[in-house]
């Protein structure tokens, strides 16, 4: 007998267009967040960890993984 246990913390969500452009809106919001996250200086509204997360997340969403 083999028993495997995997503890995972994850989130799954689905965006669906229902006569609107919810997916386009999602991408628009992400683009704005990314533009803010890559700004240099002390006036950036995100912490350094948040900036790294946003940049990595948007790269993966847009297929720009390097």
pLDDT at 66 over 80: no
pLDDT at 13 over 60: yes
How far is it, in rounded angstroms, from Cα 30 to Cα 58? 7
Helix axes 48-61, 22-37, angle to 10 degrees: 140
How far is it, in rounded angstroms, from Cα 4 to Cα 33? 39
Domain borders along the chain are 33-66
CA dihedral sign of residues 46, 49, 51, 54: negative
Q: What is the pLDDT of residues 16-27, one digit of tens each?
A: 999 999 999 999
Q: With contact defined as beta carbons under 8 Å apart, do 34 and 58 qualify?
A: yes
Q: With contact defined as beta carbons under 8 Å apart, do 37 and 44 qualify?
A: yes
Mean pLDDT, the chain, rounded, equals 89
Mean pLDDT, rounded, for 21-46: 90
């Amino acid at each position: 007998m083999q028993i495997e246990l995997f503890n995972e913390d994850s989130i799954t969500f689905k965006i669906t267009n229902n006569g609107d452009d919810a997916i386009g809106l999602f991408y628009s919001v992400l683009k704005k967040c990314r533009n803010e996250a890559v700004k240099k200086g002390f006036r950036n509204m995100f912490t350094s960890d948040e900036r790294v997360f946003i940049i990595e997340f948007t790269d993966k969403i847009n297929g720009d993984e390097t």
